[in-house]
Structure 1
Amino acid sequence: MDPVDSAAVTVAAGGRTGTRLLPPGDFGVVLATLRARQGWSVREFSRRANVSEGQICNLESGVRNPTPAVAAACDAAFGTGGALVELAEAGRRGARTESLVDAGPVVAGYERVLRELKDIGRSTGPRFVTASMKSVTRTLTDAAPLAVGEQRADIWLLASKFAEYAGWMAQEAGNPAEALRWTNLAVRWGAQGGDETVAAYALVRKAFIAQHRGDTHAAIGCADQAAGHPAANPVIRAHAARRAAQGHAHRGDAIACREALERFASHVAEALGDRTPHWGPRTENGNPRLIEASCMLSLRRFELAADLFDAERRRRPAVPADSNSQARFAVRHATALAGVGRLDDACQIVEATLPVIKRVDSATVRAELGRFVEQARTRRASPGQLALIDASAALAIG
């Protein structure tokens, strides 16, 4: 039995317990949430429930209410013990006759879906969320023309948020072209929702993509454009300064890197309490010490980088909830330690982190692992360390 089937059996094990089994929302939102949790695409769910893909999209967008037979088929596919049938019946009793979409439940429900998908993406990587991200954006872009006024704008803005995260997941999957495509869609849909700030943040994303391509000139250029964009708010300027700092560090320009780090700290302080639209990771969750340590690593100031990583690990020994960030900074720490000859300590960190790296399957984390391998191979290693370095090299290649 695969994990999806196992999860469905677990839900159904309690028998017919009613709608309390289900996440909050109307039938369409609940359907999308359950599908996202299982990691099913619309096509996969269509196959399991024997319901057409078009029907599923109409249900999830709120354009159609389910018939009793369709509700029963969905209930059987998820193993919700009659809960979906009850929810569909409750929806029919209070059904509206208008053909327009009421955006309130759609937006609130899919915002919850997006939060859940981000939680899954942070802990397991892109492969379990990509299909759901694509199908939800299709649902939202189909629903938006059926709404009016501010409600239509709200749906377009939510579609933009899904597209922005789909771009990040594409980058994590090692597909920069697809990442750029989704980022451009996020800009277009954000504009239709009345938000121009996503255009500024898109430049930050493009800076990150350029950095991982090894094009530091383009990375710094995009970061500077983001910082100077008319719609940039303090959060976006902070992200831009961080990307600029890392770009300058890769080029070996310590002075420009330090200036960018100072701008980052200033914008983070300015962003506290900022209520303008939010894109990208929350700046208050960014650890300035780890970011500085990462820049020192790129500048090949291994001793300073190792000291900063060591100090932060002593100060915050608990691992963060974000497995991707945990793995990325752990590998950078190990690279710094290898750079100062502490290969035993470095290998201990990598050995403990390899299971996380395998689970999240992130192209950006694998790139960091490749940097560790490159540095570790400059040191004299024991047979056990050599085996770990070789295993890391194989995983870095993907």
Structure 2
Amino acid sequence: MDPADSKAGTTSEGKTTGTRLPPGDFGVVLATLRAHHGWSVREFARRANVSEGQICNLESGLRNPSPAVGAACDAAFGTGGELAELAEAGRRSAPTEAIAESGLVIAGYERIFDELKGIGRSTGPRFVTASMKSITRTLTNAGQLAVGEQHANIWLLASKFAEYTGWMAQEAGNIAEALQWTNLAVRWGARGGDETVAAYALVRKASIAQHRGDTHSAIGFADQAVRHTAANSVIRAHAARRAALSHARRGDAGACRDALERFKSHATETTADRPPHWGPRIENGGPHLLEASCMLSLRRFDLAVGLFTTELGPAVPADSNSRARFAVRQATALAGADRLDDACRILDATLPVIKLIDSATVRAELARFVDEARLRRISAGQLDLIDTSAALATR
């Protein structure tokens, strides 16, 4: 949030103020503002002259802010005293039992989850992971004390945060941590009464295996997800997507085509299911972009180029990660079709975004482009771009 844009809005208490603080208690607001600015805990602590441990405790709700800390945070963010007021209001209304007001806190976290998720899609894991983890700690602490419907809602929300934190770990290239968070999402989803996250976790494992090049395991996990007792049409569509991409990587065009048809069928059924509280939107990319990606892996470059050319534009998800991923795939297809000039133009325009989001999955796509481009006749200018891409893909 740029302080220059903070003109009129509301606080989490609903009062009109001079800035646009995001909703939530002090810790939620602090985590959201920090994510907006792209500051690590260390960087923000330096700017606010507050210890890193204190920042973590504030964001996780383990410590109440003093007016002085609120003022220091105001100075760092340029929020004109709003954080100091929020800190004082929180101290005045602090309940004697932590769980008494947890419903308000959970509502705040629900409101900011989509915002943090959007930041992650556009800027990569390093700007949101700390905030996601600190909020998760608050939720699990509250979940230990909650009862009834509130208990279920808290654990479902914790499961949602854990699932996305696992995706961010995968994007950061930390597979072990991605699996740990995915397993936590399964456990916490079950506490909230939702077993479907266990079925979706198999899709996540298929995705991890696919990006590691283990197509056999990816197909196996996708098949397990389909057979899971809690699988619904959303999960089956996600599983079919992973199966189609993995069969294409193996060069099995027939199995790929069957999986594409299953994806299209399940995708049309998803509107009948309640939207899940985890995972990406099933329409992310759509069937034609999925087919284009499969044709690329099958080395049917002309077909892939045609599909990418037709579909890229309005059909591409708005977030930077997806745009970069599909742009690199399009460039790879163009390189394979001996249109390296066109491929390099697309890639040159996409590299700044790739550098910003620092996504392991996008870097893997970039490495594939480099491998394909180096099979072609390369000019001096193209060689510089390809070398730059190779360095970025392996960092």
- With normalisation by structure 2, the TM-score equals 0.89
What is the aligned counterpart of 2:326 among 325, 329, 340?
329
**Aligned partner letter, 1:83:** E
Residue 50 of structure 2 is matched in structure 1 by 50
- Partner of 2:203, secondary structure, is helix
Q: Tell me which residue corresponds to 2:242.
A: 243
Q: Distance in 2 between matches of 1:343 and 1:8?
A: 40
Check whether the contact 1:27–1:91 (CA below 8 A) recurs between aligned residues: yes
Report the equivalent of 2:288: 289
Does residue 394 (structure 1) correspond to residue 395 (structure 2)? The answer is no
Q: Distance in 2 between matches of 1:373 and 1:61?
A: 42
**What residue identity is the alignment partner of 2:78?**
G
2:297 corresponds to 1:305: no
**Structure 1 residue 24: Cα displacement:** 2.3
Secondary structure at 1:285 match in 2:
coil
What is the letter of the counterpart of residue 392 of structure 1? S
Give yes or no for the alignment of 1:25 onto 2:18.
no
Q: One-letter code of the match for 1:363?
A: A
For residues 216 and 292 of structure 2, what CA distance do their matches in structure 1 show?
A: 21
Distance 1:124 1:24, change over 3 A: same
2: distance between equivalents of 1:23 and 1:220?
42
How far did residue 149 of structure 1 move? Answer: 2.0
In structure 1, what is the Cα distance between the partners aligned to 2:248 and 2:25?
A: 50
What are the superposed Cα offsets for residues 210-234 of structure 1, whole Å, 9 maximum, x if unpaired? 0111111100000111111111121
Aligned to 1:4: none
SS at match of 2:24: coil
Q: How does 1:1-398 map to 2 (within 5 A)?
A: 10=4, 18=17, 20-40=19-39, 48=48, 50=50, 53=53, 57=57, 60=59, 66-92=65-91, 94-275=93-274, 277-313=276-312, 316=313, 320-398=317-395
Q: Give the drift of 1:126.
A: 1.2
Quick check: 1:157–1:189 contact (8 Å CA) kept in 2? yes
Measured after TM superposition, the shift of residue 208 of structure 1 is 0.6
CA 1:12–1:24 in 2, change beyond 3 Å: closer, same or farther?
closer
Aligned length: 387
CA distance in 1, matches of 2:370, 2:84: 54
The structure-2 alpha-carbon separation of the partners of 1:101 and 1:222, relative to structure 1 and needing over 3 Å to count, comes to farther
Following the alignment from structure 2 to structure 1, what is the Cα–Cα distance between the partners of residues 52 and 249? 50
Letter aligned with residue 381 of structure 1: I
Post-superposition, which runs of at least 4 consecutive aligned residues in structure 1 deviate over 6 A? 11-14
Distance 1:163 1:223, change over 3 A: same
Q: Secondary structure at the match of 1:321?
A: coil
- Distance change >3 Å, CA 53–CA 149, structure 1 → 2: farther
Aligned AA (1:341): D
SS of the aligned residue for 1:348 comes to helix
CA shift, 1:44, in A, is 5.9
Query: Please, what is the CA RMSD of the aligned residues?
Result: 2.6
1:338/1:346 contact within 8 Å kept = yes
Shift of 1:209: 0.4
Secondary structure at the aligned position of 2:283 is classed as helix
SS at match of 1:258: helix
State the percentage of identical aligned residues. Answer: 74
Residue by residue over 1:128-173, the C-alpha shift from the partner in whole angstroms, topping out at 9 and shown as x without a partner, is 1122222221222222223222212212211111111111111111
TM-score norm. by structure 1 comes to 0.88
Alpha-carbon distance change, 99 to 167 in structure 1, aligned in 2, over 3 angstroms: closer
> Following the alignment from structure 1 to structure 2, what is the Cα–Cα distance between the partners of residues 284 and 319?
10
Contact conserved, 1:200 with 1:229, CA < 8 A, in 2? Answer: yes
